[in-house]
Amino acid sequence: MLFGVMGQLMVHDGVTLRVIAAPKQRVVLAALTLNPNRIVSLDDLADLVWDGNPPGSWRAALHNYVARLRKTIGRAGVRVVTRSPGYALETHNEAETDWREFDAISWRAQAAVNSGSWESAGSLARSALALWRDVPLIDVPSESLRSEWLPVLTEQWLKLVEWRIESDLQLRRDANLVVELRPLIGSYPLRERFHCQLMIALSRGGRQAEALSVYQEARRLLVSDLGIEPGPELQQIHRQILAGRSDPEHQACHIREHSESLCPRTLLHH
């Protein structure tokens, strides 16, 4: 069995890929998938399904949605069990829910980063990133679920991207990183790590003037949007390039020191 939220909601019952067309059934299944082997109460489900404003007859409606969901997902329906005071999704291991496998591999990638095992860190980061089919919960019409989970999962995705790029820099596999990093900076302009990595990749390619321009633009954004100067690492790389270093040293340890709080062992915090 596979229950997926990393993109469009999906269920594979071991034989067939099941599509859940009914929007409220999708919310129910998403809520259960994000809390595998944990009871989600009827009250909590109602808040998620109706975004905090359930109708007067919500209990009967909710039981009906669950009954229909069980039929819709075929053989996987037996995994949706009634447990007072609500429902639970029974799973047998982390790999049966894509976000939990994503989280588990992320944890292993973090351990590799912490130990400086860059070959392993890059491989694990790629494996985790491959599970990201699209924006998580993209077709689940629950602002409550999305506002709670999407920032956490997105931050985890960003750290994995940083670690994978860092592994390429450490292993001197940086030929295509400039092309990759520019759109990332366009999407996440205040994320200093991407600016650091782009400056290093440009400098190694003999494009010091462009690397210095990256610093100036990063500083402008940080000052104008956040009212802060660039951090120590970005400033250090800038100074080294100004001093004529074509391959500036950077603090990979900076990732190790701060990664633990950004990649929790589990996201089951409800």
Average the pLDDT over 200-216 and give the result. Answer: 96
Tens of pLDDT along 144-160?
A: 999 999 999 999 999 99
Q: Which residues in 36-59 are b (16+ Cβ under 10 Å) and which e?
A: beebbebebbbbbbbeeebeeebe
Same domain as 1, residue 49: yes
Q: Please, are residues 196 and 190 in contact by the beta-carbon 8 Å criterion?
A: no
Average the pLDDT over 192-219 and give the result. Answer: 96
Average the pLDDT over 70-85 and give the result. Answer: 95
Residue 167 lies in a domain: no
- The overall average pLDDT reported for the chain is 92
Residue 104 lies in a domain: yes
Same domain as 54, residue 148: yes
Same domain as 2, residue 131: yes
How many domains are contained in the chain? 2
Residue 104: its pLDDT value, please? Answer: 96
Q: Please, are residues 173 and 164 in contact by the beta-carbon 8 Å criterion?
A: no
